[in-house]
Structure 1
Amino acid sequence: MFLKPYRPKSSAALKGSESKKFRQRLEAAYPHVPVDQLVPAKAAVTQLKILTHGGVQSVVYCVEKQPMFFELDGGQLVPTLYTLWAVPDILPYFTTHEGVLPKLSNGADLMLPGVVPLGVGLSMYGHYKKGQLMAVNLTNNKSAVGVGQLARSSDELYMCGGHGVAVKMLHLFGDKLWSHEPSLVQQIPMVKTKALSVDDFPALGAETERKKVATPTPSAPVTFSSVAQTEELETNTAALSLDDQQSQDSSDEEPDEDVSPEAILKNAFLSALKNNGKKLPLPLLTSNFYRLYVVTEAAEPIDLKKTRYKKLSNFLAEMVDQGFIVVREESKGVDKIISVDLEHPEVVNFITDVKANEANGAASETPLFHSELKEMYVVTDATAAFFTKLNFKRGEGIPAGQIKKIVREYVSKHGLLNPLTKLVQPDETLTSLYGNREASLSEMCSLITSKMEHSYQMCSGKDTSGKPLIQMSLATRSGNKKVTLVSNIEAYGIILAEFIKLCKQGAAASTSVVKLPHQKHEQLQIQGNQVRFVHTLLTETYKVPPKCILGLELAKDGKKKRK
């Protein structure tokens, strides 16, 4: 349902009475869940109406910008993964093998052969009705990776003989709803599990004592960190989250003391015009424009009384004077915006913050980064002696494709390969790991990975390790026109079409793609000297580290930022 980009139709903050009704709906749908934990009384709740890629209309409810529930036809409220990670027992679970997750990420439903039965006879799939909401987790991790609806009742699943669809997937780890707010994105929390037994998954048909979950502060969004103190959970998320992203997110959440209330208000106003200008239902009440569009675009809560304008009418009057909008007084005290100037230079050159853009439903149908589900192996205590010699830490995740390369380098460095038998002669470290016997490189990799934890991680272009540097240069074309050339952008997972769009909007310059012979990646050509603009776009919007970009000294002012 959310694997492909959805199109936002409207976004509105719920009033106090509307938020109360929403909380009452949750209490009726999930009476065993403490609603105050998921939707604190003073939390900002946003209702986002969307149209999915398949043409299905839905409503997503966000709490402090984080998607927590979405609606199905008929008004049924479905918890998102963030809700399931905060309150794991809100839904019953079906368990599948870890190798099934990539297939689900490609759009497949959970088939009956992939479901791990936890009982025998008629109770092997629980006692559920057709259409029952089900969470899906993995054999090696109790945390949910998806949520869907039962395609058949439990009795019908038993009678299918192990064939057919078991769960029609609605929402999955890695889809567009999971990445709705980039600054709050989380990887799958690692909740270790023992060998499967009925006791491990009591939610499949047995009522159990509810887990006691730590209550987050009312002003904070409900995230997995707010329940990390759960008595039964032994978590280890170090290997399942991007370190660079974590440090970036923590810095994003810190308030910028240098930003004035007026600047926050002006940026939210420009962002509202940039993201929604063509979709504004003009004429539009000024109060509705402020409440539905400006407030939802603000990076921080806006308090008009703390600005020099004091009132909304004073701020809009200044925007009228500057030529952004035209306001007409319909009747006494009733003002409406009748037109907006989307060609205003400040609007054209304003680059909306990606975080605010996507959080309020104004995201482009094309995301900024390519993303992929990467298979990982986590360094355990049993393998720590081996991997710490190679500068890996306990709990660190290693891509599956790199394990063999790491092992080969270790064997070569210590001269452990027998030239006659082509088998690895174990040293003291390897002997303690899998015993004193010779093995081939492939067997050695299998022995090592069998003692590691298997998991998955959703990765994007933000991981810069081992990637070529982005190169900016200047050249002249016909008519002695200067152009800016940018290479290796796609190596960072950046989607070129979206990058070109931002260049055309921000730099107001013609942008094209040049295919270079004998090279995998394409080169971007932008009219004029746009080195400074491209560097700012890459570092501020795409969060590419400055050390990964070459050519800033070619900027118009000839100055290079010193560290």
Structure 2
Amino acid sequence: MFLKPYRPKSSAALKGSDSKKFRQRVETAFPHVAVDELVPAKAAVTQVKILTHGGVQSMVYCVDKLPLFFELDGGQLVPTLYTLWTIPDILPYFTTHEGVLPKLTNGADLMLPGVVPLGVGLSMYGHYKKGQLMAVNLTNNKSAVGVGQLARSSDELYMCGGHGVAIKMLHLFGDKLWSHEPSLVQQIPLVKTKALSGEDFPALGSETERRKPASAASPAPVTFASVAQTEELETETAALTLESQETPESDEEDVAETSPELILKNAFLAALKNNGKKLPLPLLTSNFYRLYVVTEAPEQIDLKKTRYKKLSNFLAEMVDQGFIVVREESKGVDKITSVDLEHPEVVNFITDVKASEANGAASETPLFHSELKEMYIVTDVTAAFFTKLNYKRGEGIPAGQIKKIVREYVSKHSLLHPLTKLVRPDDTLIELYGNREASLSEMCSLITSKMEHSYQMCSGKDTSGKPLIQMSLATRSGNKKVTLVSNIEAYGIILAEFIKLCKQGAAASTSVVKLPHQKHEQLQIQGNQVRFVHTLLTETYKVPPKCILGLELAKDGKKHKKK
């Protein structure tokens, strides 16, 4: 429903009474949910009327700009992924395998072979009705990746022999509704599932099986064996009691692990790990803390609650441990002049972070807008036609490129009749769709009908056919130089994130300027930041240097002394 771009028609903030009615709707639709967790009484609720790519009108409800619900045709409220991540049990779940997610993001519905059964027999797909709202998660992550409606009831799913559609997908991670407000987009929170072990499946007649409490209806007779088992149970209970007495120590260790000092130290190490090579040294210690350390902390840092009390005391200890070198430029003005990225603690911290990323943690802020492209896959039937144009079997071709390929083929083989402007089929085309003359549009439709229709999630990293990024310098009021950057939005770059990186890395004011009589916006950065912007685009965003103009305007970095 939201895989293709939709068009917002209107947006209106709900008044107090309307907001109250919306809260009541949520409470009625999901009575087991605490509404205050989702829609606080004083939250700003916005109603956005949209027109989907398929021409269907729908309503999206945003709370503090974050989309939390959307409406179906009959007015039914459907929670978004952000709602499911806040209150996971708002909907029941079907679980699928990790490899199925790319197929869902390509536009497919969740098929029954991809569903992990909930049990055995008639209960293997639960007890749900047709049209029931269902969330979808993965075998390696409990967090939802999509939401949809059951195509058939649970009983019908069981009876259809493991074939057919299970859930008609409505909303998915990575679609346009997920990125409705680019500045607030979130990645899938990692909530790991408990790995099953042999203890979960005790052998019949084993000690674990025998130790299960007997039912009150049929008390077991007292025998010597049962007395022995009772003694064993008493011994185990005593052991468990001793273990429970040791628990407070482990709790104390957990508290120690999350102490304010450790949170501050980890944020400091993360700042060096993520930004060490990009730090614009020498850098004010206050700017380093405000722009780099604070942003890496998982929760707010209160220096007064640590044993350091002041930032200078903490940094003095980091200097003593060899992480950084700080120089006092003038009274009360300290700057970091160098950092040691080869410090053992920094190296070990980097290894830990990489391990968490390998386990599937998706914590990085996205740099690019996601774009869903309509594709057609070259099938066995159409392979003879497309291989002549250097396309392989199974390769995806963007929908907008099919007509261009058809024109190229017709022109290359001189198949267009000069009078009728119809295409006369050659042997390849006759084998593909029969011996009939057709216009270019009809020919495209005939060919695409023989291909597999799909979607592909793309980012802005594809640079083909895009305008060059232009950097220039200008003078503003007060004879101040500013750097102007144009066309970066054409590369799918999220402006809000790019501005944040400019403010952090260049420590310069950055804003978006609307040019008169022009459709696109321009980025304005205080000072000559040409070299910084070029480095940011080529290293962080991987934009090829050939796509960027204006590097010659960068400062040479040399300061000439006055004689």
Name the residue aligned to 2:181.
Answer: 181
Distance in 2 of aligned mates of 1:120 and 1:286: 61
1:307 aligns with 2:306: yes
TM-score of the pair, normalised by structure 2 = 0.46
For structure 1, the residue ranges without an aligned partner over 5 or more in a row are none
Distance in 2 of aligned mates of 1:446 and 1:220: 76
1:100 aligns with 2:100: yes
Q: Is 1:133–1:148's contact at 8 Å kept on the other side of the alignment?
A: yes
Larger RCO, structure (CA 8 Å, separation 6 or more): 1
CA drift at 1:503 = 0.9
Q: Is 1:48–1:61's contact at 8 Å kept on the other side of the alignment?
A: yes
Post-superposition Cα deviations, 1:223-278, rounded to whole Å, max 9, x if no partner, equal 999999999999999999999999999x9999999999999999973535999999
CA drift at 1:533 = 0.9
Question: Which range moves more in the overlay, 444-453 or 1-10?
Answer: 1-10
The 5 Å alignment of 1:413-424 reads 413-424=412-423
CA drift at 1:545 = 2.2
Task: Flag the 1:30–1:548 CA change in 2: closer, same or farther, 3 A.
Answer: same
Task: Flag the 1:182–1:212 CA change in 2: closer, same or farther, 3 A.
Answer: farther
Distance in 2 of aligned mates of 1:230 and 1:422: 94
Q: Is 2:187–2:362's contact at 8 Å kept on the other side of the alignment?
A: no
Task: Flag the 1:360–1:322 CA change in 2: closer, same or farther, 3 A.
Answer: farther
Distance in 2 of aligned mates of 1:490 and 1:248: 54
Q: Is 2:105–2:455's contact at 8 Å kept on the other side of the alignment?
A: no
CA drift at 1:536 = 1.5
Distance in 1 of aligned mates of 2:343 and 2:253: 32
CA drift at 1:34 = 36
Distance in 1 of aligned mates of 2:228 and 2:418: 51
Distance in 2 of aligned mates of 1:171 and 1:165: 16
Post-superposition Cα deviations, 1:263-313, rounded to whole Å, max 9, x if no partner, equal 999997353599999999999999999999999989999999999999999
Task: Flag the 1:59–1:513 CA change in 2: closer, same or farther, 3 A.
Answer: closer
Task: Flag the 1:398–1:136 CA change in 2: closer, same or farther, 3 A.
Answer: farther
Q: Is 1:89–1:203's contact at 8 Å kept on the other side of the alignment?
A: no
Task: Flag the 1:86–1:234 CA change in 2: closer, same or farther, 3 A.
Answer: farther
Question: Which range moves more in the overlay, 432-441 or 499-508?
Answer: 432-441
Task: Flag the 1:57–1:78 CA change in 2: closer, same or farther, 3 A.
Answer: same
Name the residue aligned to 2:527.
Answer: 528
Distance in 1 of aligned mates of 2:51 and 2:263: 30
CA drift at 1:495 = 1.6
Q: Is 1:239–1:396's contact at 8 Å kept on the other side of the alignment?
A: no
CA drift at 1:174 = 2.5
Question: Which range moves more in the overlay, 401-410 or 340-349?
Answer: 340-349
Task: Flag the 1:337–1:415 CA change in 2: closer, same or farther, 3 A.
Answer: closer
Q: Is 1:202–1:208's contact at 8 Å kept on the other side of the alignment?
A: yes
Name the residue aligned to 2:317.
Answer: 318
Distance in 1 of aligned mates of 2:227 and 2:14: 26
Distance in 2 of aligned mates of 1:425 and 1:393: 25
Q: Is 1:262–1:308's contact at 8 Å kept on the other side of the alignment?
A: yes
Q: Is 1:213–1:230's contact at 8 Å kept on the other side of the alignment?
A: no
SS in 1 for 2:266: helix
CA drift at 1:190 = 25
Distance in 2 of aligned mates of 1:117 and 1:273: 46
CA drift at 1:445 = 0.7
Q: Is 1:284–1:336's contact at 8 Å kept on the other side of the alignment?
A: yes
Question: Which range moves more in the overlay, 324-333 or 35-44?
Answer: 35-44
Task: Flag the 1:127–1:446 CA change in 2: closer, same or farther, 3 A.
Answer: farther
After superposition, the CA RMSD in angstroms is 19.4
Question: Which range moves more in the overlay, 379-388 or 201-210?
Answer: 201-210
CA drift at 1:512 = 2.1
Distance in 1 of aligned mates of 2:309 and 2:220: 28
Post-superposition Cα deviations, 1:46-73, rounded to whole Å, max 9, x if no partner, equal 9999999999999999999999999999
Task: Flag the 1:96–1:443 CA change in 2: closer, same or farther, 3 A.
Answer: farther
Post-superposition Cα deviations, 1:75-128, rounded to whole Å, max 9, x if no partner, equal 999999999999999999999999999999899999999999999999999975
CA drift at 1:479 = 3.4
Task: Flag the 1:337–1:479 CA change in 2: closer, same or farther, 3 A.
Answer: closer
Q: Is 1:503–1:511's contact at 8 Å kept on the other side of the alignment?
A: yes
Question: Which range moves more in the overlay, 117-126 or 143-152?
Answer: 117-126
Task: Flag the 1:157–1:509 CA change in 2: closer, same or farther, 3 A.
Answer: same
Question: Which range moves more in the overlay, 202-211 or 345-354?
Answer: 202-211
Question: Which range moves more in the overlay, 490-499 or 335-344?
Answer: 335-344
Q: Is 1:325–1:339's contact at 8 Å kept on the other side of the alignment?
A: yes
Task: Flag the 1:47–1:446 CA change in 2: closer, same or farther, 3 A.
Answer: closer
Post-superposition Cα deviations, 1:462-482, rounded to whole Å, max 9, x if no partner, equal 121211121222233333322
Name the residue aligned to 1:126.
Answer: 126
Task: Flag the 1:500–1:276 CA change in 2: closer, same or farther, 3 A.
Answer: closer
Task: Flag the 1:381–1:161 CA change in 2: closer, same or farther, 3 A.
Answer: closer
Task: Flag the 1:505–1:396 CA change in 2: closer, same or farther, 3 A.
Answer: same
SS in 2 for 1:483: strand
For structure 2, the residue ranges without an aligned partner over 5 or more in a row are none
TM-score of the pair, normalised by structure 1 = 0.46
CA drift at 1:457 = 0.7
Distance in 2 of aligned mates of 1:119 and 1:514: 58
